Structure 1
Amino acid sequence: MPRVAVMTDSNSGITQLDGKNMGVGVMPMPFTIDGKIYYEDVSLSREEFFQMMADDKNILSSQPAPADLLEMWDKALEKNDQIVYIPMSSGLSGSCQNARMLANDYHGKVYVVNNQRISVTQKRSVQDALQMAANGMDAARIREVLERERFDSSIYIMLDTLKYLKKGGRITPAAAAIGTLMRIKPVLQIKGERLDAFSKARTLNQGKTTMINAIRHDIENLYGENNVWMYAVHAQVPDEFAVFRKEVRDAFPGYEVEDDRLSLSICCHIGPGALAIACAKKSSKL
């Protein structure tokens, strides 16, 4: 049975400490803030990130340097035969494609998974990969399973502000101004490879109901009842989240709902104050 290391990037929301406890290597994602490079959970804490956002710093997400990725892989291969590397969705960043190109030089030792996930659903894929490796699967088979099941997840996110969509060019300044005036709270969707508009809400409660109904639809029509992992998630809004997490649990009695936080790579583009609900179908191989 090959010794298989499971690795990911911090877009999964897995911290360096969590990674050590799980036995997972975590590549810290770089952010360029006012021209200076910071590394998530290494030289940039979550609290510092949101403070810089509040201070209206210019924050740009970036990709890992090839040298950093190669160093992480080389170190892992000193004690393992193969690596399964699970980066963020290829539809949201070029880091997956770059990693695949780099893996070609490892001749079957490094398997990069185009998992089409990010944040809590990406983390779920990492957890599934760990279990598959413990069950004796080799890296090629783990990648095959994860890529076959990559679209079996959903995330719905309600934004608190349109500021960062405007800043990133996803909506026009005029649309942002009108939306802000009308107090519109967009609900976005991540299902597969992209972050897309899903709905618009005029109130907080309407937005939460929209997300809960959307997840319920996906469970009933796509994934199967009592066959999913469920998550209540937020972006630095603990008070509202305390209420929301209870509402999610009340809406889905009998489900175990995990609490988590949106990864900084998502927060960079949507801003603070977001609430989200997510689910991932349980793997058929576990």
Structure 2
Amino acid sequence: MSNVAIVTDSNSGITQAAGKELGIYVLPMPFMIDEETYFEDIDLTQEQFYEKLASGANIATSQPSPESVMNLWDKVLEEHDELVHIPMSSGLSGSCQSAMILAQEYDGRVQVVNNQRISVTQRQSCLDAKLLAAKGKSAGEIREFLEEDRFNSSIYIMLDTLYYLKKGGRITPAAAAIGTMLRLKPVLQIQGEKLDAFAKARTTNQGKAIMMTAIRNDIENRFGGMTEDKHIWLQVAHTANREEAELYKKEILERFPGYDVHVDALSLSVACHIGPGALAFACCRKIQV
């Protein structure tokens, strides 16, 4: 019986198939679409989600049920002594707080990490947790490490449309109309718990440049600078925009030569609020074990 298992949810961008390859258990996030429940990467693919979004379907995110969470934990604990559960940021969903309450029933065998990450940065936390477990860290030690490391990451997201922010009531119809008329492409940021406005771009190229400058500034001012050992992970994420994401990766490598750049789809929980065509640029500081 191996000691510590790593569990996350599909907001990490880790698919069921990738989870099996990585040795990470993935809890599928539920969605309510026109009053019917679907589960990400189980009976709802990325393609199906965007088809339903484009059709005008009523889509709402939901927390995993207590039963689904505990059933997965119980199954994992049949083969492991402890587990570390890494959900999406507590500032973006109540699923983290719910998991913390459920974990109280497990006498310390389940450690829920509140390190305020999502998508590609959440994925990196899972990989870091695997590394820490391989080094012999306990579930409690891994949770403490990841929570202390929570602010060593950044995400910037450029939207292609304001329609879905307006639809979700996150901006006023007037602001959306003005932004659409001016063809603005807002750049948002995730720092800690919140998704906030960061900048406004007039063109896609300007937006991509803004994100690259922001990441470089974070590396220089928060993460120890651009060092020879390339101690930063770089990530690109997108919503139904893979071709543009791969092109952006090439542009990033011109400005960040020698760095590893991982490309992945943004989680559907984020996509339903910002719509297709979005691009994101993220970074995480590599952990020192």
TM-score (norm 1): 0.97
1:52-71 pair list within 5 angstroms: 52-71=52-71
Structure 1 residues not aligned, in runs of 5+: none
1:227 aligned residue (190, 213, 231): 231
SS at match of 2:31: strand
Match of 2:84 in 1: 84
Q: Which amino acid aligns with 2:257?
A: P
SS at match of 1:284: coil
Structure 2 Cα separation of the partners of residues 100 and 2 of structure 1: 23
Structure 1 Cα separation of the partners of residues 88 and 244 of structure 2: 27
Match of 1:33 in 2: 33
2:245–2:263 contact (8 Å) kept in structure 1: no
Structure 1 Cα separation of the partners of residues 247 and 204 of structure 2: 12
Q: Which amino acid aligns with 2:255?
A: A
1:251 aligned residue (252, 255, 276): 255
Q: Deviations over 1:124-167 (max 9, x none)?
A: 00000011111111100000000000111001110000011111
Backbone CA RMSD of aligned residues: 1.1
Structure 2 Cα separation of the partners of residues 107 and 239 of structure 1: 47
TM-score (norm 2): 0.96
SS at match of 1:56: coil
SS at match of 2:103: helix
- Report % sequence identity: 59
Q: 1:275 and 2:267 equivalent?
A: no
Structure 1 Cα separation of the partners of residues 243 and 177 of structure 2: 27
1:232–1:277 contact (8 Å) kept in structure 2: yes
Structure 1 Cα separation of the partners of residues 208 and 105 of structure 2: 47
Structure 2 Cα separation of the partners of residues 209 and 155 of structure 1: 14
Q: 1:72 and 2:72 equivalent?
A: yes
Match of 2:264 in 1: 260
Structure 1 Cα separation of the partners of residues 85 and 232 of structure 2: 23
Structure 2 Cα separation of the partners of residues 141 and 268 of structure 1: 35
Match of 2:124 in 1: 124
Structure 1 Cα separation of the partners of residues 188 and 103 of structure 2: 33
SS at match of 1:161: coil
2:246–2:263 contact (8 Å) kept in structure 1: no
Q: Which amino acid aligns with 1:241?
A: A
Match of 2:154 in 1: 154
Q: Which amino acid aligns with 1:272?
A: P
Structure 2 Cα separation of the partners of residues 12 and 108 of structure 1: 24
Shift of 1:175: 0.5
Structure 2 residues not aligned, in runs of 5+: none
1:154–1:189 contact (8 Å) kept in structure 2: yes
SS at match of 1:81: strand
Shift of 1:194: 1.2
User: Which stretches of structure 1, 4 residues or longer, exceed 2 Å deviation after superposition?
Assistant: 238-243
Structure 1 Cα separation of the partners of residues 2 and 45 of structure 2: 36
SS at match of 1:272: coil
Number of aligned positions between the proteins: 285
SS at match of 1:136: coil
Match of 1:171 in 2: 171
Q: Deviations over 1:201-242 (max 9, x none)?
A: 111111111000000000111112222100122111133223
